[in-house]
C-alpha cells in the first residue's frame, strides 16, 4: 500500500536522476510500477482502487447539489443521495455492478472519502420548546434569505409582486363537516346523506403570487390511469396528478414544475427568474427538481421550519377562506342535487373552479403582506412573535404535578377528621394546634397552597419555591400553538384535516427512485412508449434497471406521466375515440 503522494515524489526523484530501485526503496513504492510510470507505460497519476462509477465532474455536481440545497433548508439524506445517483445512472444508461442500479453502503462510504467536504450528521429530535419559533430564529431566516438574494443579484425580484410565488398543498374533503342546521326540537340526531367514505379527500396544490393571481392548480388522484370522465371534468389548463397514495410525491411535484407551472409562466410572459417559497417537505426538492429550477430560473426558497402558520401566505390567509367557501359550495351543490347528493370525483374540479374564481385577489395579497414576503418586511411577522418563552414540556410536567397534588389532597382530607380539617383551615401561617398535628398541618398547607397558586386566581401568599403555572397563557401568547393568524390579528384553528395529511406525508417516504427526460432531443425509449399527447411532457419514471423500465412501461402502456395538464389527458381520449371510429 502506498499513497499517490509517495508515487509522485518517487517519480520526481527519478526524473532528477535517482536510480529507479533507490527511489522505489526510499519512498516505499513498487519498483516495477515506478519503472513503468517513468517510461510512460502507465499514467503518472491514477486513482487508487477500482474506477468509480461516476466521473469526478459528476461527483462534483452531486457535491454542489448537496451543499446548495442544504443552504436553502433542504438537507440531503443518505437515501435521497443514493436515489439521485440511481436516477443519474439510469438516465445515462451507464453499466454498473450495483444491485438494481442502486449504490450501496460501500459506494456511499467511498463517496465521502473522495469528497471530504461532505460529512454525515446525526439529526436531533427537537423537543416542543426547541422547535418553537422565536423572534431570533425568524429574524435570522429573513436575514439569510435577503443576503442570498443580494449575493446573487435577485433583489429586484422582491420589487415585483408578479414574480414572488408561494405554493402549498391541502386536502379537500368530498364530505366536509356540516354546519349547524335547524331541526325539530327534541330530535337528538340530525343526519345528512354523504358518500360511503366520509373521510375521502383529494390533495390540491395551490400556487399564487403576491399580485393576487393564482396559477393553474394541481389535483392529485389516487389512480394509475385517470378515468375519462374525470379527465374531461378538469379545466384544460389545470394540472392532473396521480400517485399510489393520492398524496404529493417527489415525482408529482417535479412534473408540476416542468409541465404546468413553468409553461404557465411562459404563457403569461412573466419575467424570469421568479421566487417560489415552499415548505420543507421532502417531496419538494430532489436533484432533478433542483436542476430543472436552476435551468429554468425558478428560485426555490424553503420557508422557516415550524413557522408556515406565520410565513406561508397559503396557510395564513388563502386556505382558511378557501375551505370555508368549499364547505359552502358543497352544501349548495347537495341542495341542488337532492335526488343524488353524493359528491363524486368527477364533480370535484367544477366545484373547486367556482370556489377559486370567487377568491378575492386581495386575500392572496394580504397573505403575502402578513407574512412579510411582499413588500419585504420581516417586522410584520417578527414583532408580534413573543420572545423565547419557558420550556413547554416543563409546563406540561408542572400541570401533571398539579393533577397529582389534587389527588393527594383529596385522599389526605378524606382521612382527616372533619374537626381537625376545620381547624387546619382556620389556622394562619403559624399552627397553634396540637404538637403532634403540626407536621400533618405543614404537609396539608404546602399542597393546598400549591393548588391555590396554580388556580384561576392569583395568590400573593404563594411559597417562594412554587412557580405559578401559566402554560396555557404561554401557548396562547406565543403565536405558535394550534392557531393560524388571521388578517385582523386574531387566531383561527388550523384545519385539522390538512395537518393530519401533512403528518401522514411526513411519515411515509415517497422518494421513489426516478429519472427525468431532460429535453425532446434526449428522450430515449420513453418517447416511443408514452402515449403521443404526453410526448412533450417531462416525465419522471421509475428506475430499477434499463431493461426493467422498458418492461414496466410496456406492461402499463398508455398510463402517462405523474402530473400533466388535463388538456393532454383529454387529447389522449379524443385520439382514441377518433381511432375507434
Instruction: Say what the pLDDT of residue 573 is.
Output: 85
Question: pLDDT at residue 293 above 50?
Answer: yes
Instruction: Say what the pLDDT of residue 428 is.
Output: 65
Q: SS3 for 21-63, per residue?
A: HHHHHHHCCCHHHHHHHHCCCCCCCCCCCCCCCCCHHHHHHHH
* Mean pLDDT for the stretch of residues 392-411: 67
Whole-angstrom distance, CA of residue 352 vs CA of residue 217: 10
Residue whose C-alpha cell is 403532634: 436
**181-221 confidence digits (pLDDT tens):** 555 666 656 555 555 556 789 999 999 999 999 999 999 99
508 or 26, higher pLDDT: 26
Element (H, E) at 164: strand 164-173
* Mean pLDDT for the stretch of residues 480-497: 35
* Mean pLDDT for the stretch of residues 153-174: 94
Angle at 203 between CA 202 and CA 209, to 5 degrees: 135
Residue whose C-alpha cell is 347537495: 334
* Mean pLDDT for the stretch of residues 12-20: 92
Question: pLDDT at residue 489 above 80?
Answer: no
Question: What would the DSSP string read from start to end of 245-307?
Answer: SSS--HHHHHHHIIIIIHHHHHHTTPPSPEEEEE---GGG--HHHHHHHHHTTEEEEEPPTT-
Lowest mean pLDDT among 4-8, 181-185, 439-443: 181-185
389 or 225, higher pLDDT: 225
87, 287 contact by CB (below 8 A): yes
Residue 92 C-beta-side C-alpha neighbours within 13 Å: 14
322 or 386, higher pLDDT: 322
* Mean pLDDT for the stretch of residues 376-389: 71
Whole-angstrom distance, CA of residue 119 vs CA of residue 568: 44
151 or 427, higher pLDDT: 151
User: Which of 192-201, 261-270, 280-289, 293-302 has the largest mean confidence?
Assistant: 261-270
Q: Categorize the per-residue pLDDT at 270 as very low, low, confident or very high, splitting at 50, 70 and 90.
A: very high
Q: Categorize the per-residue pLDDT at 537 as very low, low, confident or very high, splitting at 50, 70 and 90.
A: low
Question: pLDDT at residue 521 above 60?
Answer: no
Instruction: Say what the pLDDT of residue 484 is.
Output: 36
Question: pLDDT at residue 524 above 50?
Answer: no
Question: pLDDT at residue 324 above 70?
Answer: yes
Instruction: Say what the pLDDT of residue 202 is.
Output: 93
Which cell is 339 given?
Answer: 335526488
74 or 73, higher pLDDT: 74
Element (H, E) at 239: strand 239-242
Instruction: Say what the pLDDT of residue 129 is.
Output: 36
Question: pLDDT at residue 91 above 70?
Answer: yes
Question: pLDDT at residue 567 above 70?
Answer: yes
Instruction: Say what the pLDDT of residue 23 is.
Output: 93
Instruction: Say what the pLDDT of residue 490 is.
Output: 34
Q: Which residues of 9-47 are buried (b: 16+ CB within 10 A; e: fewer)?
A: ebbebbeeeeebeebbeebebeeebbbebbeeeeeeeee
Question: pLDDT at residue 526 above 60?
Answer: no
Q: Categorize the per-residue pLDDT at 354 as very low, low, confident or very high, splitting at 50, 70 and 90.
A: very high
**24-57 confidence digits (pLDDT tens):** 999 999 999 999 888 888 877 666 666 778 888 8
Question: pLDDT at residue 545 above 80?
Answer: no
Instruction: Say what the pLDDT of residue 241 is.
Output: 93
Question: pLDDT at residue 558 above 60?
Answer: no
* Mean pLDDT for the stretch of residues 53-67: 86
Instruction: Say what the pLDDT of residue 71 is.
Output: 66
260 Rama class: left (phi>0) / alpha (psi -120 to 50) / beta:
alpha
User: Which of 308-317, 325-334, 366-375, 563-572 has the largest mean confidence?
Assistant: 366-375
pTM: 0.58
* Mean pLDDT for the stretch of residues 134-140: 85
Give bridge partners of residue 203 from the DSSP assignment: 171, 220
* Mean pLDDT for the stretch of residues 101-130: 72
Instruction: Say what the pLDDT of residue 360 is.
Output: 94
Report the share of the chain in percent with pLDDT over 90.
29
**297-320 confidence digits (pLDDT tens):** 999 898 888 888 889 999 999 998
Mean pLDDT score of the chain, rounded to an integer? 75
Taken as a whole, the chain contains a residue count of: 581
Question: pLDDT at residue 471 above 60?
Answer: no
Question: pLDDT at residue 364 above 90?
Answer: yes
493 or 411, higher pLDDT: 411
* Mean pLDDT for the stretch of residues 348-371: 94
Amino acid at each position: 500500500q502506498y499513497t499517490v503522494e509517495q508515487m509522485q515524489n518517487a517519480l520526481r526523484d527519478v526524473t532528477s536522476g535517482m536510480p529507479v530501485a533507490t527511489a522505489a526503496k526510499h519512498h516505499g513504492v513498487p519498483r516495477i510500477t515506478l519503472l513503468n510510470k517513468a517510461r510512460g507505460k502507465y499514467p503518472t497519476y491514477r486513482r487508487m482502487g477500482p474506477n468509480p462509477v461516476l466521473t469526478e465532474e459528476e461527483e462534483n455536481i452531486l457535491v454542489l447539489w448537496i451543499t446548495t440545497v442544504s443552504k436553502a433548508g433542504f438537507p440531503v439524506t443518505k437515501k435521497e443521495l443514493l436515489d439521485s445517483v440511481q436516477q443519474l445512472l439510469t438516465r445515462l444508461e451507464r453499466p454498473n455492478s450495483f444491485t438494481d442500479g442502486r449504490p450501496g453502503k460501500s459506494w456511499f462510504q467511498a463517496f465521502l472519502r473522495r469528497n471530504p467536504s461532505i460529512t454525515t450528521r446525526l439529526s436531533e429530535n427537537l423537543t416542543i420548546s426547541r422547535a418553537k419559533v422565536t423572534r431570533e430564529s425568524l429574524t435570522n431566516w429573513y436575514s439569510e434569505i435577503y443576503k442570498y438574494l443580494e449575493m446573487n443579484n435577485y433583489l429586484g425580484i422582491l420589487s415585483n409582486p408578479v414574480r414572488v410565488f408561494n405554493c402549498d398543498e391541502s386536502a379537500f374533503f368530498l364530505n366536509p363537516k356540516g354546519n349547524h342546521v335547524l331541526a325539530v326540537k327534541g330530535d337528538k340526531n340530525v343526519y345528512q346523506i354523504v358518500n360511503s367514505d366520509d373521510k375521502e379527500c383529494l390533495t390540491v396544490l395551490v400556487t399564487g403570487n403576491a399580485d393576487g393571481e393564482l396559477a393553474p392548480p394541481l389535483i392529485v388522484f389516487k389512480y394509475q390511469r385517470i378515468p375519462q370522465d374525470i379527465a374531461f371534468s378538469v379545466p384544460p389548463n389545470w394540472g392532473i396528478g396521480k400517485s399510489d397514495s393520492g398524496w404529493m410525491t417527489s415525482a408529482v411535484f417535479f412534473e408540476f414544475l416542468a409541465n404546468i407551472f413553468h409553461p404557465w409562466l411562459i404563457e403569461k410572459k412573466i419575467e424570469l427568474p421568479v421566487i417560489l417559497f415552499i415548505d420543507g417537505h421532502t417531496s419538494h426538492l430532489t436533484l432533478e427538481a433542483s436542476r430543472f429550477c436552476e435551468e429554468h430560473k425558478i428560485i426555490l426558497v424553503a420557508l422557516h421550519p415550524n413557522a408556515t402558520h406565520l410565513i406561508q401566505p397559503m396557510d395564513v390567509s388563502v386556505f382558511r377562506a378557501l375551505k370555508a367557501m368549499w364547505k359552502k359550495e358543497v352544501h349548495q351543490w347537495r341542495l341542488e342535487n337532492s335526488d343524488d347528493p353524493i359528491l363524486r370525483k368527477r364533480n370535484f374540479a367544477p366545484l373547486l373552479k367556482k370556489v377559486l374564481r370567487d377568491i378575492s385577489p386581495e386575500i392572496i395579497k394580504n397573505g403575502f403582506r402578513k407574512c412579510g414576503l411582499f413588500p419585504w418586511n420581516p417586522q410584520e411577522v417578527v414583532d408580534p412573535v413573543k420572545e423565547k418563552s419557558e420550556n413547554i414540556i416543563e409546563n406540561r410536567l408542572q400541570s401533571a404535578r398539579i393533577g397529582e397534588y389534587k389527588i393527594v389532597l383529596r385522599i389526605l382530607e378524606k382521612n382527616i377528621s372533619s374537626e381537625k380539617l376545620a381547624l387546619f383551615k382556620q389556622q394562619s401561617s403559624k399552627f397553634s394546634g396540637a404538637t403532634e398535628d403540626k407536621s400533618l398541618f405543614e404537609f396539608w398547607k404546602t399542597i393546598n397552597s400549591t393548588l391555590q397558586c396554580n388556580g384561576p386566581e392569583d395568590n400573593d401568599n404563594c411559597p417562594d419555591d412554587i412557580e405559578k403555572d401559566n402554560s396555557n397563557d404561554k401557548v396562547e401568547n406565543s403565536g405558535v400553538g394550534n392557531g393560524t393568524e388571521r388578517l385582523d390579528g386574531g387566531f383561527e384553528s388550523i384545519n385539522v384535516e390538512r395537518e393530519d395529511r401533512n403528518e401522514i406525508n411526513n411519515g411515509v417516504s415517497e422518494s421513489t427512485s426516478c429519472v427525468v427526460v431532460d429535453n425532446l432531443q434526449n428522450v430515449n425509449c420513453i418517447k416511443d412508449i408514452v402515449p403521443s399527447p404526453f410526448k412533450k411532457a417531462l416525465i419522471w419514471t421509475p428506475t430499477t434497471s434499463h431493461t426493467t423500465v422498458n418492461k414496466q412501461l410496456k406492461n402499463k402502456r398508455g398510463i402517462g406521466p405523474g402530473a400533466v395538464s388535463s388538456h393532454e389527458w383529454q387529447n389522449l381520449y379524443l385520439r382514441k375515440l377518433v381511432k375507434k371510429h
